[in-house]
Amino acid sequence: MQKTSYCNARTGRVKATLLGILLVFAGVPAVALGAEQASLNEELSGHYSRDGNNGSPAETAGNNIYIKFFADRWVGMLFIPYPYASGVDAPVVTQVFEAARKQASSAALMKGKFDLLSEAATIQIERYGYLEGRIVFECGSLAPCTIRLGEGFLELIKPGVINEHIVRYDHVATP
């Protein structure tokens, strides 16, 4: 009489079931990531301007600050010296971002006029990723900065020694 190994049959079914469960869980984050990227692609048409640009926050910091998202998960932060920055139009800000991105083949910290400005500006270009529904990137702080996207705005959350600093940026659409 031939012996049948029921253990091997059960092991095969268990492995198939575990593989199926693993594939389902691997696919769920990919769907969520795709949704976040789709919503972000809608915002690539312009840039974000810090709430307080051309006001006392810009005067205190010494510059106006702008953020722009690029294709392939790149983000740029542009610092234009104040009060010169108050005379720079939104389309010029977008052109400076594009000119700087063309010059940077990787993460970079650049300073220059980019053939568009009268005074030198500083731009930081970094890769970003996603963590728990937020955009995460290096911003020169104690820890990575995170971004929460809202309808027509974003909140930049910078870690601090005592607490987080949350700065609002409004979306500026440019053609």
pLDDT per residue as tens digits for the range 66-84: 999 998 899 999 999 999 9
- Of 21, 98, 9, 86, the C-alpha closest to 55 is 86
Mean confidence (pLDDT) of the chain? 81
Average pLDDT, integer, range 153-167: 90
pLDDT per residue as tens digits for the range 25-54: 444 444 444 444 545 554 567 899 999 899
Q: Is 7 exposed, middle or buried (0-12, 13-18, 19+ CB in 10 A)?
A: exposed
pLDDT at residue 127 in the model: 94
Structure pTM? Answer: 0.75
pLDDT per residue as tens digits for the range 89-122: 999 999 999 999 999 889 999 999 999 999 999 9
Q: How far is CA 52 from the centre of its chain?
A: 20
pLDDT at 164 over 90: no
The dihedral built from the CA positions of residue 18, 21, 23 and 29, taken in this order, carries a sign that is negative
More confident residue, 13 or 108: 108
